[in-house]
Chain A
Amino acid sequence: MQLPPALCARLAAGPGAAEPLPVERDPAAGAAPFRFVARPVRFPREHQFFEDGDVQRHLYLQDVIMQVADVPEKPRVPAFACQVAGCCQVFDALDDYEHHYHTLHGNVCSFCKRAFPSGHLLDAHILEWHDSLFQILSERQDMYQCLVEGCTEKFKTSRDRKDHMVRMHLYPADFRFDKPKKSRSPASAEAPGDSGERSEGEAMEICSEPVAASPAPAGERRIYRHRSVSELFLKPVLNMCSVLRILGCTWAAALLILNSERIPSTICFGQGAARGFKSNKKKTKQC
């Protein structure tokens, strides 16, 4: 098939539309017995017209067409150890290390050392497990957010939220990243029906002493509710962060920043933090 030589040049040149020749139709053009009508044609999904192209597409998916050149081997490096304190894993390939880091150290709760697959789930966990203000607020309003990406529903209790996820989103009832908060009893068993597998995160969660930041058990919570706001100012760490929360950022986030273990880039303390509160504590990060 021969193309005019100027065609490639036309493609390479700039955009433009030809000045159209004048259109002048004679009614006799469409008169019987002639029936041509110029019209664009559409083909629906299953039309046979698409058969050849579809078959080519599927051959590609089945890898028959593309002869792939040899893929470079996973690059090996001299063995090195993970630098995170307490972790003694050794690697000889960067990809393996990347996956290990993201899984085990990427989204880790600084309080209970539990690892989460995503920042989203970690945030929800910190809020629900380690933020006492969250507990307080959740008695008055629906605070338990649905964990499914894109769903904005909130619930009064984690139980209600779980029911929602099971009914509406067809999630498993024992979804691993929505475990109900355990009581302080030692050696608490995992939820029934668990395969009983042990993993580093789980072990630490069960046996470690709760960090000071953990919310108090139910008894103390009632007492907090009755305290006045001014009394809250008198209490150390816990309350400073509650005030900060009122001022627009989470206590958990404040603690994290102080601990420098996970610094969300979006945290912003706003001007109120400096104005209403004089403290001898470490200056919090201004944004």
Chain B
Amino acid sequence: MWSRRQGRLRPTVCGVEELRRRRREREAALRKARREQQLVSKRLLRNDAPEEAGEGCVAAILGETEVQQFLRQAQRGTEEKEREGALVSLRRGLQHPETQQTFIRLEGSMRTLVGLLTSNQALLQLEAARCLHELSHSEQSTVAEACLPATSYLLTYLSSHSSDFIELCLYTLGNLIVESEAVRRQLLPQGIVPALAACIQSPHVAVLEALGYALSQLLQAEEAPEKIIPSILASTLPQHMLQMLQPGPKLNPGVAVEFAWCLHYIICSQVSNPLLIGHGALSTLGLLLLDLAGAVQKTEDAGLELLACPVLRCLSNLLTEAAVETVGGQMQLRDERVVAALFILLQFFFQKQPSLLPEGLWLLNNLTANSPSFCTSLLSLDLIEPLLQLLPVSNVVLTVLCNVAEKGPAYCQRLWPGPLLPALLHTLAFSDTEVVGQSLELLHLLFLYQPEAVQVFLQQSGLQALERHQEEAQLQDRVYALQQTALQG
């Protein structure tokens, strides 16, 4: 049967170096694709049962006559094993783009395959579905579009009772969705949203993970904000999605990852975020963040950032909604453990995934910007020094410190004395205008609310540090103002 996890690598064939090289290549390709707004990735379920391993890594490309022959055998063979075997051979051949092209160009081939997909022979049905799945993995949109006749059946089978089969249909749908707008244009009127809303009540983890995948592909579509997200928000899907993200014994990481990404695509499209806040998204995500921070302390699991990333993004974007400011919204996220959890995650990113540090700091900014409570937590939990350690990573550190300092003398008193001033003197030595500009803003607030800092600033050659920038157009006004303040102080 199909493996319930992602595909398998073959360590015997490819060494570690080779894997790393391939990963670097793929990463570069993905970055390029994203910049061109063509980021498409698919998930392939492929079972390499032992009896097939003998075939080696590469299956043969099939020609037109062979494809026809296998189809005929599958359709009209007398022995069930023979029919099944024919489809297995076809499926292996369809791993090749050339065979896929041959298949779709053959008249009646899809019709036959759909006939087999909808037959009452269970194992034939499965093999036919696997053939479709191989086709769905193609990077040619013509192949995806050739699968259009099958979509109504794939949707129908989502309400069947065979969880393996449902899982397969979902991954196939997810792959087809991401490849072609024509497929999406057909699937929406065919009722994919209600079908998914019914299917999400399945108790099977593998089905849920597959559903999350398919939904995430649907939500990434360019036309999603106008054409897809509104009907998803109108369905029961958001409530179920949030349920899958609730921490507890039932939380499954693979499932949670998919739905967290789904939520991210919905939220950053900004279609109707207050609705999600109304469903308790902020408190669910906040609790999940706490759970993640607990998990990173306990396990060496390198996969946690896959879940942490979308959770951070969702929280950050939701916090910008005006709805948060109402009594309901604000009550959902006041727990100062969120700040503690965030720093634990920042440390985790520092060690395992530094590229996610800016996203973590973004959340910190959004938490502290309008919240005296969270700013106070930063101070009372002694987090200023750890925060300063992240200065080389991102300017947002300075922004967060400004968020704290701008709240007045009570806050600046707690920032002083301490490592803040030496850190600022250090950043003033940078040539990056952005960094220096933020440092000047922070100095201004510090001087205003904590005048004793001025003396120490002067003693530590602060003026010289300022002078470096007095010719810089973007900085000179502020440099001058600070020089005046310092000299008068």
Q: Which residues of B contact A95 (CB under 8 A)?
A: 1, 164
Complex CA–CA separation, A73 to B4 (angstroms): 11
Give A3 Cβ to nearest chain B Cβ, in Å.
5
Number of A-B residue pairs with CB-CB distance less than 8 Å in the complex they form: 337
Contact with A40, one of B366, B386, B411, B438 (Cβ below 8 angstroms): B366
With both beta carbons as reference points, the residue of chain A lying nearest to B157 in the complex is identified as A117
Give B260 Cβ to nearest chain A Cβ, in Å.
10
User: What class of interface size applies to chain A in its complex with B?
Assistant: 35 or more
Asked if B91 CB lies within 8 Å of chain A CBs, one says no
With both beta carbons as reference points, the residue of chain A lying nearest to B23 in the complex is identified as A64
Contact with A4, one of B26, B350, B383 (Cβ below 8 angstroms): B383
Contact A71 B27 (CB under 8 A): no
Contact B5 A71 (CB under 8 A): yes
Are A7 and B340 also in contact (CB < 8 A) when A93-B1, A106-B161 are? yes
Q: Which residues of A contact B152 (CB under 8 A)?
A: 169-172, 175
Give A178 Cβ to nearest chain B Cβ, in Å.
10
Contact A40 B320 (CB under 8 A): yes
Among A19, A48, A98, A200, max chain B CB count under 10 A is at A98
Among A2, A71, A117, max chain B CB count under 10 A is at A117
Contact with B along A1-44 (1 / 0, CB 8 A): 11110111011110111111111111011001111101111111
Contact with B191, one of A55, A63, A169 (Cβ below 8 angstroms): A169
Contact A194 B22 (CB under 8 A): no
Q: Which residues of B contact A98 (CB under 8 A)?
A: 162-164
Q: What count of chain B residues pass the 8 Å CB interface test?
A: 145
Identify whether the interface residues of B are mostly helix, strand, loop, or mixed: helix
Asked if A231 CB lies within 8 Å of chain B CBs, one says no
Asked if B465 CB lies within 8 Å of chain A CBs, one says no
Contact A21 B347 (CB under 8 A): no
Complex CA–CA separation, A96 to B81 (angstroms): 14
Asked if B336 CB lies within 8 Å of chain A CBs, one says yes
Are A22 and B410 also in contact (CB < 8 A) when A43-B268, A172-B152 are? yes
Are A59 and B27 also in contact (CB < 8 A) when A11-B344, A170-B190 are? yes
Contact A24 B335 (CB under 8 A): no
Give B435 Cβ to nearest chain A Cβ, in Å.
14
With both beta carbons as reference points, the residue of chain A lying nearest to B40 in the complex is identified as A58
Q: Which residues of A contact B270 (CB under 8 A)?
A: 42, 44
Q: Which residues of A contact B39 (CB under 8 A)?
A: 54, 58
Contact with A along B430-458 (1 / 0, CB 8 A): 00000000101110110011000000000
Contact with A99, one of B164, B319, B478 (Cβ below 8 angstroms): B164
Contact with A202, one of B120, B161, B191, B448 (Cβ below 8 angstroms): B120
Contact A58 B319 (CB under 8 A): no
Contact A176 B376 (CB under 8 A): no
Asked if B43 CB lies within 8 Å of chain A CBs, one says yes
Give A168 Cβ to nearest chain B Cβ, in Å.
6
Contact A102 B162 (CB under 8 A): yes
- Further pairs besides A25-B406, A103-B125: 11, Cβ < 8 Å: A1-B390, A38-B368, A44-B270, A55-B31, A58-B41, A60-B306, A62-B26, A68-B5, A68-B7, A99-B165, A196-B75
